[in-house]
Amino acid sequence: METPPSVDIEEKKEEKQDLISKLENLRKNMKDWERRPIVEVGKAVIELVKLPRRETKKGTEPERLALHLRLKDSFKGVFIEGYDELDDIIRALNSKSVHEIAKALEELNKKRVIEYTL
């Protein structure tokens, strides 16, 4: 027997609210710049990071949580503070030209030869 759609919607609302509550607790309890791993795929790592409160030209940005996308052997990466930013990055990375260039770069970098003098 299938679950009525209205029950599914209520369950999803509760799950979303639970996740928001967990994130609020993490924001309150994490130290500035503390990282919590979320997922690791090959060389890619995504972490949850607490960004500190900061002063900008436009005013004060409160402390907040962000996703940090980086490569495994690097601390530099991209901070993603919302779904729109994530969606833009995903769409850009999935573009045909980026795929073609990445494949070409891989081929180019394989052919690189380093010669040493004796």
The per-residue pLDDT for range 74-87, each reduced to its tens digit, is 989 999 999 999 99
* pLDDT confidence of residue 5: 63
Tens-place pLDDT, residues 19-38 = 999 999 999 999 999 999 99
Residue 60: pLDDT band with limits 50, 70, 90:
very high
At 100, is the secondary structure helix, strand, or coil? helix
pTM confidence score: 0.78
Angle subtended at Cα 80 by Cα 99 and Cα 88, rounded to the nearest 5 degrees = 45
At 2, is the secondary structure helix, strand, or coil? coil
Asked if residues 79 and 67 have their Cβ atoms less than 8 Å apart, the reply is yes
- Domain-wise residue ranges, the chain: 31-111
